[in-house]
Each structure stands twice: as C-alpha cells, then as structure tokens.
Homo-oligomer: A and B are copies of this chain.
C-alpha cells in the first residue's frame, strides 16, 4: 500500500472469523429455549433460520445485550496464526460493530484479552467496510463484494453455498495460503 514499506495490509473480521460467535448464540438458545447445541445447521442458512419461527428475532436481542460479545471463544488457531501473520503483513482487525452500540466496549476488551499484540491503531469498528487494504478475510460477502483487493471468504454455515470466492475453511488454511 505504501512505497516505503513492502508489507501488504491485511484486514481481518471478528465475528465468525476471529470469534466463534455462533457458539455464543447456540449457548444462549440452549440455555433459554433448550435448543440443542448441535442443531443441524443447513448450509446457506443463517443460524436463526434453522430455529423455530417464534425465535426469529431473538438473535438481535442477544446481540444488542451488554456483555454478549465479551466472552465469546476465539476461533481455534486464530490467536497463534494472527500473531504469525503480523511478521509478514500489517494486520488490521475490522468489525462492522457500529450497528451494535453495546458491542463496542466488549469487542475492544475482548481483543485486549485475546489479541493483546494488536495495537489500538490497528483496530477499526465500522459500518460499511470502506477500508483501503490489500487482503480481506471475512465471512460476509456484503463486506467482500466491493473490496478491490484479494478476498478470502472464511467459511461459516451461512455462506457455504456461495461460489466465486477464494475460500478458507479454518485458520490452518489461512496459514497455508498467507504464511
């Protein structure tokens, strides 16, 4: 991106990429409604589309609650591989968090706990991801579609039917491609 610095700029999403947000939703659906944690997740469907209809709007209620984003488990391998990526890339964490006012402090505290090696300069909470970078890893094609650089679609049940993107199924595959 920058004449006097050859490291490419890599931007990485949080939910369902760094953070196993689906697990947190399932934990709450299980706790509050007895939904099985291992409910079948139909490829191409959002999690809530696999649930009984009366729970349709519940995910948004959860996501707006203070604390929801604070104790989500990191994705397997994410911490070690992001740390390794920093040697070769300018790594930025970019989450479309502005939609959820109550997520902002939680997400910052979560990054401070699990990714303390990411400085504040390299974190962005956005609406639209209008970020200037070379590579983007994201599970949502709404974020990838208009990005002019290399796009890596991080697999999540909701995006499994999407074609036409370079796909990574887990952090080990990210490491294989980028390290």
Which residues in chain A, 106-154, are within 8 Å of chain B measured between CB atoms? Answer: 108-109, 119-128, 130-133, 146, 148
- Are A146 and B92 neighbours in the complex by a CB distance under 8 Å? no
Q: How many copies does the complex hold?
A: 2
Q: Verify if A99 is at the interface (C-beta below 8 Å from B).
A: yes
- Are A105 and B98 neighbours in the complex by a CB distance under 8 Å? no
- Are A124 and B122 neighbours in the complex by a CB distance under 8 Å? no
Q: Verify if A22 is at the interface (C-beta below 8 Å from B).
A: no
Q: Verify if A24 is at the interface (C-beta below 8 Å from B).
A: no
Which residues in chain A, 38-70, are within 8 Å of chain B measured between CB atoms? Answer: none
Cα(A2)–Cα(B148), bound, Å: 10
Q: Verify if A23 is at the interface (C-beta below 8 Å from B).
A: no
- A residues sitting closer than 8 Å to B (CB atoms) are 1-2, 9, 92, 98-99, 101-102, 104-105, 108-109, 119-128, 130-133, 146, 148
